[in-house]
Homo-oligomer: A and B are copies of this chain.
Amino acid sequence: MTIKELSKKCGLSISTVSKALNGYTDISEATRETVTKVAKEMGYYPNAHARALKTKRSYNLGVLFVDDTQSGLTHAFFSFVLENFKKEAERHGYDVTFISHNMGETSMTYLEHCHYREVDGVCIACIDFLDTEVTQLVNSELPIVTIDHLFNNRMGIQSNNVEGIRQLVDYIFTKGHRKIAYIHGPRSAVTDMRLGSFYRTMEFYQVPVPEEYIESCEYNDPASAFAATKKLLSLPNRPTCILISDDYAALGAYEAAADMGLQIPQDISIAGYDGIPMMQLMKPRLTSVLQDTHRIGAEAASKLVQLIESPKTTIPEITVIPCTLIKGETIGELPKQDHK
């Protein structure tokens, strides 16, 4: 079912049919109607490749997503962002192509893959943003939106990490905790914001943070969080509350506590970050900061589409998505005398 056959059925030329379908104004309403009608009847859709070849628009959005734990689509948090990105992209008529650098035998750079598939734009998330291949991509002429990292003069979507941590620490304070440890993820823009917000909030409350209360683990990796939690729990001056890099990693903290015979939240309080649904089904329900994966994904997609479809009138901007505290059940209330 090509446009040629369709035009034959309509008794019109190829160009007329094409124009009728693409909203050109030099087509009478009558013929436009018949064309669209016949097209619908025959289930005609313009071939995406032919169209892409001619117009340089593939209606494909690239997604670059490479996490340390190699979880890919199974990522406990980002799979939600991706799902919503995909849904919004489809709403705008775009399909999604995952960008990688090993296609068959030959390996290509991310940028080469983008050119090869002629994606109209790229969403970059959860990756080592300092990787040379990534910066090569960012420095290209392609429309780009990044999630959780900002590049100069590029669209960026950011969850409000500063506010998230602040709310979380605030809440923990109201529960009477002062000895608060933080197991943060590897150095990155996100980690810096959260850790910075943690320090500033603690400073605001004029509570010093002992150096040994700051540990690190991999994101999305319960095993490394398990190790870090055990380390903190073995400290002579043990913290009463531990913040963990993310919800999924927090599973390692549950395990570490159980391993040392400690009850959550009676003996030790913990909190995660992300607010993934599954952790709200745990006993006890994890205290966390809910990131709005729907808005993050959808905004990323719609901003990217906007950038593609109206490059002139669209200026790169950063969009901050608010997050919400989930109180959960893993922060215990400390007796009054322990309050400062």
Interface residues of A in 45-102 (CB under 8 A from B): 45-50, 52-53, 58, 71-74, 76, 79-80, 82-83, 86-87, 90-98, 100, 102
**Cβ-defined contact, B108 with A49, below 8 A:** no
Interface residues of A in 153-185 (CB under 8 A from B): none
Tell me which residues across on chain B come within 8 A of A72, comparing CB atoms.
83, 86-87
Q: Interface segment, A111-119, A137-145, A210-218, A320-328?
A: A111-119
For the complex of A and B, the 8 pairs showing the least CB-CB separation, nearest first, are: A93-B104, A49-B52, A49-B49, A73-B83, A251-B281, A72-B83, A45-B116, A74-B79
Q: Is A222 an interface residue (CB 8 A)?
A: yes
Cross-chain contact of A53 among B1, B50, B118 (Cβ < 8 A): B50
Known: A92-B104, A95-B97, A97-B97. A79 touches B73 (CB 8 A): yes
Known: A73-B73, A93-B105, A281-B251. A86 touches B112 (CB 8 A): no
Q: Is A278 an interface residue (CB 8 A)?
A: yes
Interface residues of A in 1-48 (CB under 8 A from B): 1, 43, 45-48
**Cβ-defined contact, A86 with B105, below 8 A:** no
Cross-chain contact of A278 among B49, B95, B109, B251 (Cβ < 8 A): B251
Residue of B nearest to A293 (CB): B74
Cross-chain contact of A112 among B43, B94, B116 (Cβ < 8 A): B43
**Cβ-defined contact, A91 with B104, below 8 A:** yes
Interface residues of A in 272-295 (CB under 8 A from B): 278, 281-283
**Can you tell how many copies of this chain the complex includes?**
2
Q: How large is the interface on A (under 10, 10 to 19, 20 to 34, 35 or more residues)?
A: 35 or more
Q: Is A103 an interface residue (CB 8 A)?
A: yes
A86 CA to B82 CA, complexed, in Å: 15
**Cβ-defined contact, B43 with A53, below 8 A:** no
Q: Is A198 an interface residue (CB 8 A)?
A: no
A98 to chain B, nearest CB (A): 7
Interface residues of A in 295-313 (CB under 8 A from B): none
Tell me which residues across on chain B come within 8 A of A133, comparing CB atoms.
none
Known: A47-B53, A48-B116. A255 touches B278 (CB 8 A): no
Q: Is A207 an interface residue (CB 8 A)?
A: no
Cross-chain contact of A98 among B1, B86, B117 (Cβ < 8 A): B86
Tell me which residues across on chain B come within 8 A of A58, comparing CB atoms.
49
Interface residues of A in 200-254 (CB under 8 A from B): 222, 248, 251-252, 254
Q: Is A189 an interface residue (CB 8 A)?
A: no
- Further contacts, 13 of them, CB under 8 A, given A45-B108, A95-B98, A252-B281: A1-B115, A47-B116, A47-B118, A73-B82, A74-B79, A76-B278, A86-B98, A92-B104, A93-B103, A95-B117, A251-B278, A251-B281, A255-B281
